[in-house]
Amino acid sequence: MRAVNGNQWAVVFATPAGTPELVTTRQREPRRFRDAALALKALREIGVLTAVVEMEGWDTAAGKPPAWSRPEQSAKMKARHQRAAADAELEEKVREAIAKAPGSEWMANSDLVAVLVAKVAQIDDFDLHAAIEAALKAGPPPRLQGEPVGDDL
């Protein structure tokens, strides 16, 4: 591991053929670490338990470099936070609904799924054309007293 650019760290491997650097997965560019501890952690994760640290290029006065910008990660994180907020809002609405209806009957999820599957099966068996023909034969429903007519709608 060696210090580069004053305040960044690179992981370099000593081999008989040369000194290849650890690179990023996608762009295959040299991987830079803002913190030496993170570089050591990466080495440990890949099974390297012994390392030599070259600090010649380390500038102790340089401070920690700023974090790299990751717009795609930022967008994902914002979406994740929005979903979490929506989940919390839904949970609060469910709690309020439960509080407003203390005598309501609740069922287990598996029972609810069974009921919904049965209802979907009924919909699949529904003959739309027959229902339309029956409605046409029956004619319009009787008007209720006070119901608007024509332009009153």
Residue 144 included in any domain:
no
Q: What is the mean pLDDT of the chain?
A: 84
Q: What would the mean pLDDT of 141-146 be, rounded to a whole number? A: 68
Please, are residues 57 and 6 in contact by the beta-carbon 8 Å criterion?
A: yes
Residue 116 included in any domain:
yes
Q: How far is CA 114 from CA 62, 74, 104, 118, in A?
A: 65, 41, 19, 6
Same domain, 29 and 78: no
Same domain, 58 and 36: yes
Q: Residue 66 carries which DSSP code?
A: P
The domain of 120 spans 107-139
Q: Residue 67 carries which DSSP code?
A: P
Cα 64 to Cα 32: distance, rounded to the nearest angstrom: 12
Residue 150 included in any domain:
no
Same domain, 45 and 91: no
Residue 149 included in any domain:
no
Q: How many domains does the chain divide into?
A: 3
pLDDT in tens, 60-98: 888 777 777 788 888 999 999 999 999 999 999 988 888
Cα-based angle 93, 99, 100 (whole degrees, multiple of 5): 90
Residue 152: predicted pLDDT: 52
Same domain, 55 and 34: yes
Residue 145 included in any domain:
no
Residue 1 included in any domain:
yes
Residue 76: predicted pLDDT: 93
pLDDT in tens, 57-69: 888 888 777 777 7
Residue 150: predicted pLDDT: 58
Q: What would the mean pLDDT of 112-118 be, rounded to a whole number? A: 87
Same domain, 41 and 75: no
Same domain, 23 and 56: yes
Q: Is pLDDT of 135 > 70? A: yes
pLDDT in tens, 13-59: 888 998 888 888 888 888 888 888 999 999 999 898 998 888 898 88
